[in-house]
Amino acid sequence: MHGPTYMANPLACAAANASLDLFEREPRLSEVAAIAAALRQGLAPCRDMRRVRDVRVMGAIGVVALDRIDDIYELRRRFVAQRVFVRPFGATVYLTPAFTIAPDDLGRLPDAVIRVVGELE
């Protein structure tokens, strides 16, 4: 999919170190915990959908695994029409919000997934 992220590139390593510094100074882990809780709750209705095989959340990543995605480009278009950027890949829909996402924006993500995946029924 992609090579190692930093590959000993000095600029990339400096950016990685600066990012780690932010984890020490800012409440990133509590933000991730809040995102995880919101995604678990928000994506829960997907579990009852016929085409959904699995729903899982790990940290700030939410996943809805489908039995298949027939037209990934059409699915992406539907998400854009809902005014969200959601990444379907293979037969999986990924939510990877920024740790600093506003609560209202975070709520829009699972709502859009429920709406779009529900249309696949």
Report the CATH number that the domain containing residue 37 is assigned in CATH.
Answer: 3.90.1150.10
Beta strand spans in 43-91 (E) = 52-58, 61-66, 87-89
53 contacts 94 by C-beta, under 8 angstroms: no
Amino acid 4: pLDDT: 63
Amino acid 23: pLDDT: 86
DSSP per position, 59-96:
TTEEEEEES--S-HHHHHHHHHHTT---EEETTEEEE-
Ranges of the chain with pLDDT below 70: 1-7
Partners of residue 54 on adjacent β-strands: 65
Q: How many CB atoms lie within 10 A of CB 36?
A: 16
Amino acid 95: pLDDT: 95
Own/partner pairs, 21-30, CB within 8 angstroms, 24+ separation: 28/99
Amino acid 33: pLDDT: 95
| Enclosing domain of residue 32 | 27-119
Identify whether 6 is part of a domain. Answer: no
Is residue 85 classed as helix, strand or coil in its secondary structure? coil
Amino acid 5: pLDDT: 61
Amino acid 87: pLDDT: 84
Amino acid 10: pLDDT: 85
Number of domains in the chain: 1
